[in-house]
Structure 1
Amino acid sequence: MNHWLVKSEPIKYSWEKFNKEGRTFWDGVRNYQARNNMKLMKTGDLVLYYHSNEGKAVVGIARVVKEFYQDPTTPDPNWVVVDLEPVEGLKRPVTLEEIKADERLKDVGLVRQGRLSVMPLKPEEFDRILELAAN
């Protein structure tokens, strides 16, 4: 299993809305590196859900339920989506400041490539963020 982090502005698509809907396709990705990451996502992979711009915190865990396919919001064949479903909210959000301050997370894409909207996480990085959320 692989681990990922996806970013969404809460004003556009919040964790709360995602939970209410129960499933979504992850669209709007217009960066080739993020798109390539989505193409690597497999059914069952776990995904941390990050609120960008407002909040700037990891707020929940999702799961990939359908692997990449053509983005239905554009006729351009270069762009794809994956389907995600919420798994659970975190006990408490883990802020970007906390992630940046944690030596074990210094190489996380969120720190090194802050604008990337879909990024891989090492299993130990994923676990560390969950550990921080439990405290």
Structure 2
Amino acid sequence: MSDHVRLVLIEMITETDGLNERVRGLETTIRELVTPLAPALLEITGISHVSAAVLLAEIGDITRFTSSAKLTRYTGTAPIPVYPPTRNATGCTEAATGDSTACSTRRPSSNSDSTRAHEHFWPATSRPKEPAAPDASSNAI
């Protein structure tokens, strides 16, 4: 191995060692800061001090949520609704059609069904905007 390559490798290893030492120091600081703030989070299997710090930073003051449902909606972890056996996600019921196969194979005829589901997970104030339709004049040559 040439002297040039050896020098570059030694420099890279030295820099990597310095970065690893910095990461260890930051992890120690995070551990010291998070332990008194989130003891309940740290009791959960799989939640490290770093994970707890991320959760604290993302959620902020948890007391601002008046219910667990509001917290799960905020974090995007609200459960998917489960419909009873006589009703499927399209809202079709066997009793309404008298035919269980028609009910299970019915496809939404418009965007109304998907819009309702969309509104369930994203209130109108925080819903992602639909992409704008391309302007026909912008494709002109």
TM-score, normalised relative to structure 1: 0.19
Q: Kindly name which structure, 1 or 2, has the bigger radius of gyration based on alpha carbons.
A: 2
Structure with more helix by fraction: 2
Structure with more strand by fraction: 1
TM-score, normalised relative to structure 2: 0.18
